[in-house]
Amino acid sequence: MRFRNLLAFVVVMTWHSTVLGESYQMLLRDDRTGDVPKGWVAAKTGSGSGSVWMVVSDASVPSGKALAQTSAEGPNGLFNLCVSESTSFTDIDLVVAFKAIAGKLDRGGGPVWRYRDAKNYYVARMNPLEDNFRVYKVVDGKRTQLDSAEVKVPPGEWHSIRVVHCGDHIRCYLDAKLMLDVHDKTFPCAGEVGLWTKADAVTHFDGLQVKQPAAMAPERITVPKEYSGLRHVLEAGEGIWSGSEPEGGEGFGSLRKLGFTTIISVDGARPDVETAAKHGLRYVHIPFGYNGIPAEAGAALAKAAHDLKGPIYVHCHHGLHRGPAAAAVVCLASGKVDHHQALAFLAVAGTSRDYAGLWRDVGKYVPPAKGAKLPELKETANVGSFTMQMAEIGRGLDRLKLCQDAGWQPPRKHPDLLPSREAAMLRDALLQADTIRTGKEDTQFQKLLSNSSRLAGQLAESLRARQKEKAAALSAQLNQSCTECHKTYRD
Contacts of 387 (CB under 8 A, 6+ apart): 268, 287
CA-to-CA dists, residue 363 to 62, 116, 329, angstroms? 10, 32, 9
The C-alpha atoms of residue 15 and residue 55 are separated, in whole angstroms, by 9
Angle at 331 between CA 254 and CA 398, to 5 degrees: 45
DSSP 416-458: T--HHHHHHHHHHHHHHHHHT--S-S-HHHHHHHHHHHHHHHH
The pLDDT value recorded for residue 434 is 62
DSSP track, 83-112? EEEEEEESSEEEEEEEEEEE-SS---BEEE
Q: Are strands 230-237 and 240-243 parallel, antiparallel or unpaired?
A: antiparallel
What is the rounded CA–CA span in Å between residue 106 and residue 46? Answer: 15
**Cβ of 219: how many Cβ atoms within 10 Å?**
15
Cross-strand bridge partners of residue 180:
172
Residue 220: Cβ-neighbour burial (10 angstroms; 0-12, 13-18, 19+): exposed
| pLDDT for position 302 | 96
Concatenate the DSSP letters of all residues of 287-305 into one string.
---TT---HHHHHHHHHHH
Question: Which pLDDT belongs to residue 12?
Answer: 33
What pLDDT was estimated at residue 437? 55
Q: How many CA atoms lie within 13 A of 380 on its CB side?
A: 9
Q: Are 474 and 459 in contact, with CB atoms under 8 Å apart?
A: yes
Size of the chain, expressed as the number of residues it contains: 491
Distance CA 447, CA 213 (A): 53
Calpha distance 264→311 (Å, rounded): 11
- The structure's pTM equals 0.47
Tally: H helices and E strands in the chain:
10, 22
Cis peptide before 311 (omega within 30 of 0): yes
CB atoms within 10 A of CB 235: 24
Residue 49 makes CB contacts below 8 A (sequence gap 6+) with 71, 73, 74, 75
Residue type, position 362, single letter: V
Residues of the chain with pLDDT under 70: 1-24, 26-27, 214-223, 354, 383-389, 432-442, 486-491
Q: Please tell me the predicted confidence (pLDDT) of residue 19.
A: 38
pLDDT at 347: 86
> Which residues have CB under 8 Å from 123's CB, separation 6+?
79, 110, 111, 112, 135, 136, 137, 138, 143, 196
Whole-number Å distance between alpha carbons of 101 and 243: 31
- How far apart, in whole angstroms, are the C-alpha atoms of residue 475 and residue 420? 12
8 Å CB contact between 201 and 99: no
What's the N-to-C CA distance of the chain in angstroms? 34
Neighbours of 40 (CB within 10 A): 23
pLDDT score at 16: 34
Q: pLDDT tens digits, residue range 102-111?
A: 999 999 999 9
